[in-house]
Amino acid sequence: MAFISSSTSSAGSAAGISPGLPKKKVSFSESQRLAKQRAYEKKAGRYKLKLSELTVFTQQLGSMLEAGLPMVSSLEALMEQTEDPVFRVIIRDVRNEVAAGNPLSAAARKYPRAFNNLFVSMVAAGEASGALAPILMKVADYFEATLALTKKVKAALTYPIAVIGLAIILVNVLLIFVIPVFAEMFEDFGESLPAPTQMLIDFSNFLKSNIVFIILAGGVAVYILKKFLSTERGRRMRDQGLMKLPIIGNLRQKISLSRFCRTYAILARSGVPILRALEIVSSASDNTYVEDATKEIGKSISQGGQVSDVLREDPYFPPMMKHMVRAGEQTGNVDGMMLKVADFYDTEVDATVSGLTSLLEPIMIVIIGIIVGGIVMAMFLPIFELSNVVGG
């Protein structure tokens, strides 16, 4: 009897060869495809899905379920049309779990980096209430609002960041390549250079000699800073520092308040238990002030209190929000009031972003003009002095 190893058997099965039959040679393209598929499957467990892709997936799944398609058929359709190969593997595994009789929330929970806490909790609430399709559409609307807000902020910051980057490149080109040419020319003068010119030449020589070390040191510093900001203490110091900035702090606060109110409202309206909703609000906030507040709110509710009891004592939350939440509790419409507060702060964010963009453009132009103009003036000072001597 011939001995067949497990690896050979697996390879034969993968290539569609039955045991006992002559082995068919696997083509190079087929082996590449199998290798890629195994790589995608290995990557699926830690794959972080973009919010934009999750939004499209949620919206399409909700639309298919509303149209009467079974869950398994809907997932199969989404699996076939997605262009992301790793996400296709994730949808395939989720479909297999659902086809085996497991709920969608349990299957999605196995991929926490692809399906966030809000999605999983809302799906669980929809499965418990029998209204999964409408809840998925609410989640999709929430994701779209979050994406729109993020895009507005990024669009406002794109221009200043691009200008700063170009300014840094321009200044480094002047210091490393242009200034040394002038320095060689000034050596033939045989006279001492003006202080600004000499300082600029010394700095150029230092930068040119240590550019590799500076780049490496900068990379190490950025890595250390990112590691520190991922810790609890680092996040608190980051939030405290940003809050003290004149415009950025106010903008970040409004974004955090809008996210807090909208997340809480959508969870409350979908029937998610209040304590679980607070946990999700805390994890989605990325703000230590909001995280501390949600913990206190959870303790207050566990002891028979209300949301407004904690907000009233927390200086991070503005008076308008406190009064709106209090009014919502009195009328039994907290989620409705929260959505109104979120809409209000979204409008405030739009106005702040527009004002910030208008303010930053002239400031950046002036700063770049001062830096480049200062470098040019420092390098031409010796030439001016020489022309004065010759003229005298």
**Each residue's pLDDT tens digit, 173-227:** 888 888 888 888 777 666 677 888 888 888 888 888 888 898 899 999 999 999 9
Separation between Cα atoms, residue 121 and residue 280, nearest integer Å:
8
Taking residues 308-320, report their average pLDDT: 88
Domains located in the chain, CATH noted: 51-115 (1.20.81.30), 141-392 (1.20.81.30)
What is residue 4's predicted lDDT score, i.e. its pLDDT? 40
Alpha-carbon dihedral of residues 266, 272, 273, 275, nearest 10 degrees? -50
Query: Quick count: other Cβ atoms within 10 Å of Cβ 195?
Result: 10
Q: Are 41 and 74 in contact (CB under 8 A)?
A: no
332: left (phi over 0), alpha (psi -120 to 50) or beta: left
pLDDT in tens, 225-262: 999 988 989 999 999 998 988 888 888 899 899 889 98
Alpha-carbon dihedral of residues 74, 76, 82, 83, nearest 10 degrees? -170
Taking residues 274-288, report their average pLDDT: 85
Q: Quick one: 332 exposed, middle or buried, by C-beta within 10 A (0-12, 13-18, 19+)?
A: exposed
Q: What percent of the chain has pLDDT over 90?
A: 22
Residues making up the chain, counted from first to last? 392
Residue 61 φ/ψ, nearest 5 degrees = -65, -45
